[in-house]
Amino acid sequence: MNISVILATYNRNDILSVTLNSFVELVVPQISWELIVVDNAGNAATKDLVSSFNGKLPVTYLVETKKGKNNALNAAIACAKGELYVFTDDDIIATPEWLTEMWEGAKRWPNHSVFGGRILPHLPAGKEIPIREHFFSQGAYVIADFGIPEGVYSAGKVWGPNMAIRSNIFSSGYSFNTSVGPDGSSAYIMGSETELTKRLEEGGYASIYLPKPLVYHQIREEQLELDWLYGRAFRAGRGAANIQNEVGFPLVFGVPRYLFRQLINNFIQITRAKIACNRYNLFDSTIKLHITRGMIYQYYSKAKAGA
């Protein structure tokens, strides 16, 4: 088996249907592959949907009811048969050459094991991304279009909708960290795949950017609201604090003291942006405020849990 495509889903059948239909159009000459869909909700309707693609796709349906995307991914890894595990999400639209380009790209880098592809947004008709040029919007909408040639790049830019890892990495003992990533709550710790790719980078496994394997990320209308972005910023702050080491910083209730000064500065910058009627600066300052809030919350939660 050349490729195992792995995705987790949680009660999003309308979106998942679009994704699965795009897989039907994949052009995969001379590539043996399987698709593993892990239902993290145990939804009968999801089972029926996936089963409707039997005969159209080489699909296996699994159920992992222990909440957490990474629990679901680890469950799929336990039964995957491919040499290359291609991870994606239940809200992408694959281009026909996606798997072929990923397989060929991995073959061009035989001494590397971690790969990330290109991701572009698929927006509702007539809608636009808020402040698209801002760094946070790029990450929030998972726009991986870096304008760089194929080659080594930062593990932090290998994103979940379009990434691949050789199977031997997992057989050597690596797995997804089940304490991070979507878990059915609204305040989960972000960094599901990034936590693993950065850990692999620290272990000597550099990541390779492959611009040819392309998928589109389905953006829903509610995700274009500022409140959704601010919630994501809070979760991003939690994710950042989860992997950072606070050693060397003076602490207040387990929280690095500088974060409280940073929080005050965030409020000051928001006030200045409002007075100046500067939309970009207001967005920037508000995003940073919620990231800081998330970091404070996570540091305090870790300290409380360890008390």
52-87, pLDDT tens digit by residue? Answer: 999 999 999 999 989 999 999 999 999 999 999 999
Q: How large is the average pLDDT for residues 37-54?
A: 96
Task: Please report the pLDDT score of residue 240 as a whole number.
Answer: 85
Q: Is the pLDDT of residue 112 over 70?
A: yes
Lowest mean pLDDT among 66-75, 79-88, 122-131, 179-188: 179-188
Decide if 106 contacts 2 (C-beta within 8 A): no
Task: Please report the pLDDT score of residue 182 as a whole number.
Answer: 72
Task: Please report the pLDDT score of residue 196 as a whole number.
Answer: 94
Q: Which amino acid is at 210?
A: L
Q: How large is the average pLDDT for residues 82-102?
A: 98
Decide if 90 contacts 145 (C-beta within 8 A): no
Nearest C-alpha neighbor of 165 from the set 190, 195, 200: 200
Nearest C-alpha neighbor of 215 from the set 129, 145, 154: 145
Partner residues linked to 7 by β-bridges: 37
**Three-class secondary structure of residue 180 per DSSP:** coil
Residue 224 Cα to chain centre, angstroms: 17
Task: Please report the pLDDT score of residue 250 as a whole number.
Answer: 87
Give the model confidence (pLDDT) of 211-260 as tens digits: 999 999 999 999 999 999 999 999 889 988 887 766 678 889 889 999 99
Q: Which residue has the higher pLDDT, 243 or 261?
A: 261
Task: Please report the pLDDT score of residue 51 as a whole number.
Answer: 97
Task: Please report the pLDDT score of residue 114 as a whole number.
Answer: 98
Q: How large is the average pLDDT for residues 276-290?
A: 97
Mean pLDDT of the chain: 93
Decide if 53 contacts 124 (C-beta within 8 A): no
Six-digit token pair at 17?
């249907």
Decide if 101 contacts 210 (C-beta within 8 A): yes
Q: Which residue has the higher pLDDT, 304 or 86?
A: 86
Decide if 35 contacts 59 (C-beta within 8 A): yes
Query: What percentage of the chain reaches a pLDDT higher than 90?
Result: 82
Q: Which residue has the higher pLDDT, 183 or 38?
A: 38
Give the model confidence (pLDDT) of 188-207 as tens digits: 666 678 889 999 999 999 99
Q: Please give the radius of gyration of the chain, using alpha carbons only, rounded to the nearest integer.
A: 20
Task: Please report the pLDDT score of residue 205 as a whole number.
Answer: 97
Task: Please report the pLDDT score of residue 184 as a whole number.
Answer: 62
